[in-house]
Amino acid sequence: MSRTLFGTDGVRGTANVHPMTAELALKLGAAAGRYFRRDQSGAHRVVIGKDTRLSGYMFETALTAGLTSTGMNVLLLGPVPTPAVGFLTRSMRADLGIMISASHNPAKDNGIKFFGPDGFKLSDEAELEIEELVESGVRLTQAANIGRATRIDDGRFRYVERAKQSFPADLTLAGLKVVVDCANGAAYRTAPEVLWELGAEVVPVGVTPNGHNINDRCGSTHVRTAAEAVVSHGADVGICLDGDADRVMILDEHGQVADGDQIMALLASRWAEAGRLAGGALVATVMSNLGLERFLEGRGLRLERTAVGDRYVVERMRSGGWNLGGEQSGHIVMTDYATTGDGLIAGLQFLAAMAESGQPASALARSFETVPQMLKNVRYRAEAVPLEAAGVQDVIRAAEAALVGKGRLLIRKSGTEPLIRVMAEAEDPELLTRIVGEVVGAVEAAAG
């Protein structure tokens, strides 16, 4: 049996459309409860966090019903960043952590992410077993053993303290004006609180969630709003988070963007100089720019590439004993501080570099020159299989041949949306444009 519910980052889709229905969430809750409560002995607990989507209430309730029906005690955190769930799962000695969020997706979508008792996301094998339990159904507990649900009022504050501990104790953000865009999402209170408590003058953006405006013209996938705020307020730097605050983009004092590759380059070089970069390696995905790889090689460091998805980055980091990794999209994973991507803590590491060096954000936000890269997405119907079309495969083979020694081509299906992602890199911009255009055209024709 192959996984059909889980994608690269949990279960995700449009709310009230399969698989993101209350009925399926109840079954998932029961299946996860049974999976993590196999021994039937002792007290078992699960922590549940969510972002600010309206549908979060529905899924929170449905998951709670399913989990308690198998005897799990549920601890409800309310709106907190995804990394807070990973942290609190381990801190509160829970058997399981769940985050209800569709990350950077629009408000109509939602998702369910699972964390194991160690605070790390579940393996493919564990997700497959949970799917099998959803399919087969689970045995419910006896009435006397039904679990309880409890609201945890200070979960946000526990995470605030955890985030602050990642910032050097001998430094302060006093004198820095920081724009922080919380995407009207899970960190809308947490991030401004952390920055203010560390001494920054904070200009908050995207901190008025209403259930419908998460990621709407704000956050890490729409940095223009924060960039305008940086310039208009004369801020020193901008931090743009996404809906569940597990990814980040940095803006310099001119409103120019530093993506995940540039942030990782800065941290890797500084950590290596300080003797903190475990194994002399950075873990990133196949999407990271070739310029990052060249930058690291020039400093005697290695780039370990993985499949797309921060979960696969973390798995490689753990197997290799490395402590820094991430994605171009802004997931920055620092296992010294967190079990998953943490946009706020990554932002604090950038601010620490500013405070230590006395340099402006613009001097730190561009460590290397990027190789020209182009990414285009092609949406397809769920039943379509455009990459299997003979015409598409012929065009891809021709494109790969044209790029030999000149660049690279990467084509993949999104794990969270019905999209084919076509990415190419080449020093020659004309060749790059032609190659991507030909492949996208062929995929669009096959996708109808």
How far apart are the C-alpha atoms of 99 and 110, rounded to whole Å? 10
CA distance 349 to 277: 14
Tokens 């409800």 belong to 76
Asked whether the beta carbons of 392 and 384 are under 8 A apart, the reply is no
> What's the CA gap between 282 and 264, in Å, rounded?
8
Using CA atoms, how far residue 84 sits from 80, 192, 199, in Å, is 6, 15, 22
Select which of 103, 166, 329, 367 is catalytic.
103
Cβ proximity of 120 and 96 under 8 Å: no
Nearest residue to 98 (alpha-carbon basis) of 111, 115, 81: 115
Give phi and psi for 246, each to the nearest 5. -100, 0
- CA gyration radius for the chain? 22
d(CA 432, CA 194): 42
CA 255 from chain centre, in angstroms, equals 23
Tokens of 432: 């790059």
Query: Which residues are registered as beta bridge partners of 407?
Result: 426
Q: Residues in the chain, how many? A: 448
Q: Which among 288, 213, 220, 287 has a CA at the least distance from the CA of 251?
A: 220
Strands 324-326 and 373-379: unpaired
Terminal CA-CA length for the chain: 29
Kindly state the DSSP code that residue 208 receives in the 8-state scheme.
-
Q: Tell me, rounded to whole angstroms, the distance of Cα 385 from its chain centroid.
A: 27
Tokens 């609190």 correspond to 88
Q: What is the token pair recorded at 353?
A: 């570099």
CA 315 to centroid of chain Cα atoms: 14
Is residue 103 flagged as an active site residue?
A: yes
Instruction: Give the relative orientation of helices 82-91 and 155-165 as an angle to the nearest 10 degrees.
Output: 100
**Look-up of token digits 């940086």:** 230
**d(C-alpha 313, C-alpha 120), whole Å:** 12
Query: Which residues are tagged catalytic?
Result: 103
